Amino acid sequence: MLGAGSWFVGLAIPTVFVGGFIASRKRLAYQWREELMDPDNTVYPPITMNDMDFFRGVSPSYQKEGSGVTLAVNENIGLYVNRDVLSVEERNVLMDEVVRWVSLFGQKIDPRKFDFYENKNNKNKENSNDVDLKCYKETSIISDHAEDIQLMKAPWGTGDRIRYEAMPATLRFLVDKVQRTFEGVGRLRHVYVEYSPSGKFYHEPRATKGFDGHDYVIIPLRSDTNPTVVTFSPLLRSKVSILQEVQENSWTSRDIDAIIPSNAALRVYGTARYEWGWGIRPCEVWFGHRQNTLKHLLNTTFVHRGMMERVKRRLLYMKPKHTVQQDAALVVLHFEGPRDNNKQRSLLLQPEILIFGRPPAPEMYEQWVEDRPTQEVVRKEGVFLFMIKNYLEMLQVS
């Protein structure tokens, strides 16, 4: 029989070794994230005042005049717009390709999600203008892992298991171009595509899963060449849930609008990646202030030098005289993010499960039911367990 010393050597030493390895990898994952969220880090390109022309803080609708709150360079939360990522020909080809991808891999929005938002909308019809959610019902999604409560069927895999050979050639081209345009984004981890036949979107801000990596890039594709406005809203803050109020004032008073011209792309990193969620308000597109609509941006003569004049000039020059198609798509590519200029993450020494976690499953997302717990539900579950459960969910979001 083995003695106590033999059992100790046989079990304790491997346990200490494995435990130490796991703890060191977890520490590395935490350190990596904290370094990228440091506002003084130098891994991302410097931001100039011209770059800040693409961003505005949201002004409340009761202010009769205004174009949003101008942001200084030190107020940038981790957003950067590259103006010329795609040529006109590349954009048109990709737009046609997205339609083909949707026919092969796309799925409609889960009916339970549409019913959830429609019920919230109907409760407030008598007090506000109705919000047309038909465009949301028509939206198709392509994803390589579970989104919300519905499974996806993109065949190329996700995370470290992504197989480029299973992707359409045009998608591989887009990924390669984004990696060359935005230096340091690292390996691709996740692909998400939304397609709207009407050209209108509705996307509620929510936390991006840690599995998806540290950076992501939003590439809007539109047949009408109009710019796209993406709104960033802080995650740990009470949000407006009534769609009519969102349409008028956005989700919170701290929201930031980013306007992405045609052929451009938006990189999201640092604080914006982990403490803010991206969304698109329903119905009419506006930038910074309710009266600063897309039509206003295109028809008003701007006397100041800045992004508005450049966007207007570019759009009016490029826009065809007879626009028939109105469809649009959003391609969101998620990447590991920068770590080291000389080498990439080791797949063996820095395993995915310890650095990024497990791929999202439908169970990880909220269920589309009334999110206000009743007294009966709390009593049945137990007050203590209910409080612990919600506290853990809050930690997962943060």
Q: How far apart are CA 291 and CA 340, in angstroms?
A: 45
Q: Say whether pTM exceeds 0.75.
A: yes
Print burial letters for 117-140: b (CB count within 10 Å at least 16), e (below 16): beebbeebeeeeeebebebbebbb
Please give the pLDDT value at position 109: 83
Please give the pLDDT value at position 322: 47
Residues 51-349: name the CATH superfamily. Answer: Alpha-ketoglutarate-dependent dioxygenase AlkB-like (2.60.120.590)
Q: How far apart are CA 346 and CA 21, in angstroms?
A: 14
More confident residue, 157 or 397: 157
The three state secondary structure string of 54-113 is: HEEECCCCCCCCCCCEECCHHHCCCEEEECCCCCHHHHHHHHHHHHHHHHHHCEECCHHH
Angle of CA points 376, 381, 385, to nearest 5° = 135
Mind listing the pLDDT tens digit for each residue in 344-370? Answer: 788 888 899 999 988 888 776 655 444
Q: What is the DSSP secondary structure assignment for residue 355, as one 8-state letter?
A: H
More confident residue, 4 or 155: 155
Radius of gyration for the chain, computed over Cα atoms and rounded to the nearest angstrom: 23
The CA-based diameter of the chain, rounded to the nearest angstrom, is 91
Query: Which amino acid, one-letter code, is at 35?
Result: E
CA–CA distances in Å: residue 61 to residues 120, 204, 250, 270, 292: 22, 20, 9, 30, 10
Other Cβ atoms closer than 10 A to 349: 10
> Which residue from 201, 204, 248, 249 is spatially nearest to 229, judged by alpha carbons?
201
Among 62-76, 112-126, 190-204, which range has the highest average pLDDT? Answer: 190-204
How confident is residue 307, by pLDDT bands cut at 50, 70 and 90? low
Mind listing the pLDDT tens digit for each residue in 223-278? Answer: 988 999 999 999 988 787 788 888 889 999 999 999 999 899 999 999 999 999 99
Mean pLDDT, the chain, rounded, equals 83
> Which residue from 213, 206, 182 is spatially nearest to 334, judged by alpha carbons?
213
Print burial letters for 253-273: b (CB count within 10 Å at least 16), e (below 16): eebbbbbbbbbbbbbbbbbbb
Tokens representing residue 68 in the block? 């949003």
- Specify whether the CB–CB gap between 138 and 46 falls below 8 A: no
Name which of 30-44, 112-126, 127-141, 202-216 the model is least confident about.
112-126
Helix axis angle for 169-181 and 88-105, nearest 10°, is 130
> Which residue from 138, 140, 150 is spatially nearest to 112, judged by alpha carbons?
150
Name which of 199-208, 230-239, 244-253, 318-327 the model is least confident about.
318-327
Please give the pLDDT value at position 47: 93
Say what percent of the chain tops pLDDT 70. 82
Q: How far apart are CA 157 and CA 137, in angstroms?
A: 26
Mind listing the pLDDT tens digit for each residue in 276-292? Answer: 999 999 888 999 998 88
Number of residues written out for the chain: 398
Q: What is the DSSP secondary structure assignment for residue 18, as one 8-state letter?
A: H
How confident is residue 197, by pLDDT bands cut at 50, 70 and 90? very high
Helix (H) or strand (E) holding 265: strand 265-268
What residue ranges do the domains of the chain occupy? 1-37, 51-349, 368-398
Beta bridge pairs of residue 190: 334
Q: What is the per-residue DSSP string for 206-244?
A: -PPPGGG-SEEEEEEEETT---EEEEEEESSS-----HH
How confident is residue 14, by pLDDT bands cut at 50, 70 and 90? confident
> Which residue from 253, 235, 243 is spatially nearest to 202, judged by alpha carbons?
243
